[in-house]
Amino acid sequence: MLTDLTQYTFFTNAMEASLLISILCGIAGTWIVARRLVFIAGGITHASFGGIGLGYYLGINPLVGAAAFAVASANAMLFGTRKGNLREDSAIGILWSFGMATGVLFIFLTPGYAPNLMTYLFGSLLTVGSTELNMMWILSAILVTFFVLFYRVILTIAFDENHARAMRLPVELVNYALMTLIALVIVLSIRVSGIILVISFLTIPQSTANLFARSFNHIMLSSVAISLVTSLAGLYLSYWLNVPSGATIIVVMVVVFVIVRILKWIFHS
Amino acid sequence: MILKPIPPLLQLNDLGAGYNGRAVLHDVNLTVRANDFIGVIGPNGGGKTTLLKVITGLLSPITGSIIYGPMLANGRRIGYLPQMHQYDRNFPILVRDVVLSGGMGQRRLINPFNRDDRKQALELMAMTGLSQLQNHPIGDLSGGQAQRVFLCRALMNDPALLILDEPANFVDAGFEAELYEILHDLNKKMAIIMVTHDLGIITPYVKTIACVNGDLHYHPSSEITQDLLATYRCPIELITHGTVPHRVLKTHTNP
């Protein structure tokens, strides 16, 4: 029966999207978790809802609006906390709610019904189209290239920003570049996993990987693998049980985390 | 034959520095030359760490100037061991990668390390007794062991000037003595500036003293007395040790 499913384009697209979101979020999430930026990622995710609303209002692809809002809010957060003496958690709170509020207003002002709005809130792995897949391929290529080429710089700055600055490394440039890439990763992941659930792809596989892998690159690779396996498992499971795929994937991710945690506890005692 | 004078490593001219426009340090003049070993003393809040931040480039001077000599390559050839700082113990990074990261200042950004660099990192870890720990994450280490890792990281930069901020804090007594011997050896190859509160122990190693208390008084000798500190308005206490084996320094004879 499993082989039957792969005859359908929507299902192979969903598998391809699972692979791509695993690569994107596995890598980006490792940096986010290591730097303790999970709630900044949450803020960026919700701020992008304003862009989705704007997209509907202007009649353009909501993902374009989301990308603009996400990149702008990511860099504003970085800038505001560094130069504006704004506390980081307060900055997150402001952008988080501002994005959601503008999203609601734009959708209210848009005449008629906003189709697929739920897709952006909760994601829809099974309706991902080839345009979105192509965009994810391109972003994956950029992200992987960036991390492979600049791995040592990224690691050095992430571990000790002050020391990196003392060594005259381009700390600000790398941080802004990474925040921009993270914002784009979040926007393309929204289509797959939804605003509400993006954060799970950025944190749960990394936390599972961190239970056994102890260096940055091992966590990165393990996160991609765990993310891929759990999202494919969740995808099949959701089909059998006839329940939403995004939510199922997250439940599978958490169950795997708990199992690995228990296994670690057994083997270490 | 004309001998060209060797340019100093570093020159601070009428330097003022501080935070949010408020100067902590003012009118600082200091010349650092190759093979100097300057002990920096002074009360808490006197500006010792601020001075180091200016030299390492973490803080821009408010007034005056800082001039790096050609040996320092615009400040890139400085090794910096910050005061026992709050590194993230849960950050997923191995000891050897922390050590290697210290070499980034001198190397290209893409694929920066070759076999020689890795060999150098191994040698540094062997010198500081870290070989067994090289594949452990930094979070596994005690504060004293981490301090050794950060010393190796500072040395990975092939520094012409090594800057240490209270390096003996949190280090166990055994390694402290070893640390000063290591610094003594390193001083043959590089200048050292070391902030310390424990002047008694380092006196045999430092060559000159700088008292930092809002301004900077340079004392071109390592022999100091309480009287001398009073004239420099440098209210620090000389630490002497009691029942443990200790070194008594000769009293400063007035000229």
The CATH number of residue A17's host domain is 1.10.3470.10
Closest in B58, B88, B110 to A165, CB measured? B58
The more confident residue out of A1 and B67 is B67
- What was the ipTM of the complex prediction? 0.87
Taking only the tens of pLDDT, chain A with its 269 residues reads 556 777 888 889 999 999 999 999 999 999 999 999 999 999 999 999 999 999 999 989 889 999 999 999 999 888 877 776 778 888 889 999 999 999 999 999 988 877 777 888 888 888 888 999 999 999 999 999 999 999 999 999 999 998 999 888 999 999 999 999 999 999 999 988 888 889 999 999 999 999 999 899 999 999 999 999 999 999 999 989 999 888 899 999 999 999 999 999 998 87
- Distance (Å) from the C-alpha of residue B159 to the closest C-alpha of chain A? 11
Q: What tokens appear for B36 in the block?
A: 């100097």
- Do A216 and B93 lie within an 8 Å CB cutoff? yes
* A36: contact with B, CB 8 A cutoff: yes
- Closest by CA to B97, choosing from B118, B81, B114, is B118
Torsion from C-alpha of A47, A48, A51, A53, nearest 10 degrees: -80
A228 falls within a domain = no
CB burial string A83-112: b at 16+ within 10 A, e below:
eeebebeebbebbbebbbebbeebbeebee
* Band (B23; pLDDT cuts 50, 70, 90): confident
A151-159 vs A216-241: helix axis angle to the nearest 10? 100
pLDDT at B227: 62
CB-CB: which of A167, A168, A215 is closest to B94? Answer: A215
In a domain, A137, yes or no: yes
Q: Which distant-in-sequence residues (6+ apart) come within 8 Å of B15 by Cβ? A: B25, B27, B28, B29, B30, B54, B61, B63, B64, B65, B66
Candidates A36, A149, A153; nearest CB to B104: A153
Option in A153, A159, A166 nearest B93 (CB): A159
- Kindly report, residue by residue over B188-214, the tens digit of the pLDDT: 999 999 998 766 666 678 888 888 888
Contacts of A150 in chain B (CB under 8 A): 109-110
> Which of helix, strand or coil describes residue B27?
strand
Interface test with B, best of A167, A173, A214, A215 (most B CBs within 10 A): A167
Q: Is the pLDDT reported for residue B49 higher than 60?
A: yes
Q: Give dist(CA A17, CA B203) in Å, integer.
A: 65
Partner residue facing A155 (CB), from B74, B93, B105: B93
Check residue B238 and give its pLDDT. Answer: 53
What pLDDT, on a 0 to 100 scale, did the predictor assign at position A176?
A: 95
DSSP assignment of B99-151 equals: HHHGGGGGS-SSS---HHHHHHHHHHHHHTT-GGGTTSBGGGS-HHHHHHHHH
Encoding tokens for residue B110?
């893409």
Answer yes or no: do A155 and B87 touch at CB < 8 A: no
- The dihedral formed by the CA atoms of B46, B50, B56 and B60, expressed in degrees to the nearest 10: -140
CATH of domain B1-77+159-255: 3.40.50.300
What would the DSSP string read from start to end of chain A? -HHHHTTSHHHHHHHHHHHHHHHHHHHHHHHHHHTT-HHHHHHHHHHHHHHHHHHHHHTS-HHHHHHHHHHHHHHHHHHHHHHS---HHHHHHHHHHHHHHHHHHHHHHSSS--TTHHHHHH--GGG--HHHHHHHHHHHHHHHHHHHHTHHHHHHHHH-HHHHHHTT--HHHHHHHHHHHHHHHHHHHHHHH-TTTHHHHHHHHHHHHTTT--SHHHHHHHHHHHHHHHHHHHHHHHHHHT--HHHHHHHHHHHHHHHHHHHHHHHT-
Handedness of CA A217, A219, A222, A223 (dihedral sign): negative
Query: Is residue A225 a part of any domain in this protein?
Result: no
Residue B79 contacts A, CB cutoff 8 Å? no
Q: Please tell me the pTM assigned to this model.
A: 0.87
B184 part of contact set with chain A, CB < 8 Å: no
* Closest Cβ–Cβ partner in B57, B92, B102 for A215: B92
Q: What is the pLDDT of residues B100-133, one digit of tens each?
A: 999 887 777 787 888 888 999 999 999 988 999 9
Residue B160 pLDDT more than 70? yes
Q: How far is A123 from A246, CA to CA, in rounded Å? A: 6
Residues of chain B positioned with their CB less than 8 A from the CB of A163: 80, 82, 101-102, 153
Compute the mean pLDDT over every residue in chain B, rounded to the nearest whole number.
Answer: 83
**What is the per-residue pLDDT for B202?**
63
The CA distances from residue A145 to A150, B35, B65, B110, B203, in Å, are 8, 43, 41, 11, 52
Closest chain A residue to B53, measured at CA: A166
- Whether pLDDT at B225 is above 70: no
List CB contacts (< 8 A) between B137 and chain A.
214-215
Look at residue A236 in the predicted model and tell me its pLDDT: 92
Domain with CATH 3.40.50.300 in chain B: 1-77+159-255
Mean pLDDT, to the nearest integer, of B78-85? 84
Establish if A216 touches chain B: CB-CB under 8 angstroms. Answer: yes
The tally of domains found in chain A comes to: 1
pLDDT given at position A246: 87
Strand partners, B164: B81, B194
Q: For residue A222, what are the CA distances in angstroms to A17, A65, A214?
A: 18, 32, 10
- Answer whether A159 sits within 8 Å of B112, measured CB to CB: no
Q: Is residue A267 part of a domain?
A: no
For residue A174, tell me if it sits in a domain. yes
Structure confidence by residue, pLDDT tens digits, B165-192: 988 777 777 778 888 888 999 999 999 9
Print the domain residue range for A166.
2-197
Closest alpha carbon to B85 in B132, B53, B117, B113: B53
Phi-psi region at A36: left, alpha or beta (left = phi > 0; alpha = psi -120 to 50): left
More confident residue, A138 or B7: A138
Residues of A in contact with B157 (CB under 8 A): 167
pLDDT on residue B106: 75
pLDDT, tens digit (0-9, with 9 covering 90-100), for B235-245: 555 544 445 54
